[in-house]
Amino acid sequence: MLITPIKPSPKITTQRVVLSNISWQTYESLLAEAGDKRSSLFSYSQGVLEIIMPSDLHETVNCLLKQFVTALSDELKLKRKGFGSTTLNREDLKQGAEPDSCFYIQNVDRIIGRKINLSTDPPPDLIIEVDLTSPSTNRFVIYKSLGVPEIWRYLGENVQFFQLQNAEYVVCDYSSTFPIVSSEIINQFLQMAETEDDLTILDALREWVRENLRSPETTEQ
């Protein structure tokens, strides 16, 4: 068994451990033993298990992006159901992951009141991944196998939108979930976190959406 730890930065303490040659049965056993009340996130792909322990900064960014999705869906009158870091598994594909956050929006009616079973249910419509010291490259392979259509990936200081097109993830300027929203706009509101509290940022985002819904064409700040 190969263990590959990444030493945490003094300022950013997200930690990552990679284990090789792990069977699906061992992966499921580790998930069961760890339980739901934990801070670590597991992902599994064809025998490789990755365990991530997010830092405070990681969780701060994730929380703000989750609130962005909530505010956008509220203002655009879109139904949603958030599943947080729920485990997304496909035993037949030997793929599984726990995203930082995930949402059903376009397919919300197909999942309400049900426990997710990706063998028969669609994957989440939107996933959020926050990369500070541990890249989500391996999880992108898993999400592609699961058919996740859109990922918002925060890397360092900015968010990029990725959409699954022709079985590959490509960077796109605009969200497919919220077509009026560009990554540039999301990054502008993220930058406000340096000087403003969450409520002020969310109020500004909601007002931006209302102004753009009144406008015949989307205008960026």
The domain segmentation of the chain, as residue ranges, is 56-214
Please name the residue ranges forming H helices in the chain: 24-34, 56-75, 137-146, 183-191, 198-214
Please give the mean pLDDT across all residues of the chain: 89
Q: Which residues contact 196 (CB under 8 A, 6 or more apart)?
A: 204
CA distances from 132 to 11, 58, 60, 87, 156 (A): 11, 7, 12, 21, 6
Cα distance between residue 116 and residue 96, in whole Å: 13
Cα distance between residue 20 and residue 49, in whole Å: 6
Cβ neighbours of 115 (radius 10 Å): 7
With cut-offs at 50, 70 and 90, classify the pLDDT of residue 207: very high
Q: Name the DSSP letter for residue 6.
A: B
Cα distance between residue 204 and residue 197, in whole Å: 11
Location of structure tokens 């760890």: 34
- Write down the pTM of the prediction: 0.88
pLDDT, one tens digit per residue, over 13-52 is 668 899 999 999 999 999 999 988 788 999 999 999 999 8
3-class secondary-structure state, position 88: strand
134 pLDDT more than 70 = no
With cut-offs at 50, 70 and 90, classify the pLDDT of residue 10: very low
Cα distance between residue 128 and residue 80, in whole Å: 15
Pick one of 3.40.190, 3.90.1570, 1.10.3470, 1.10.10 as the CATH number of 56-214.
3.90.1570
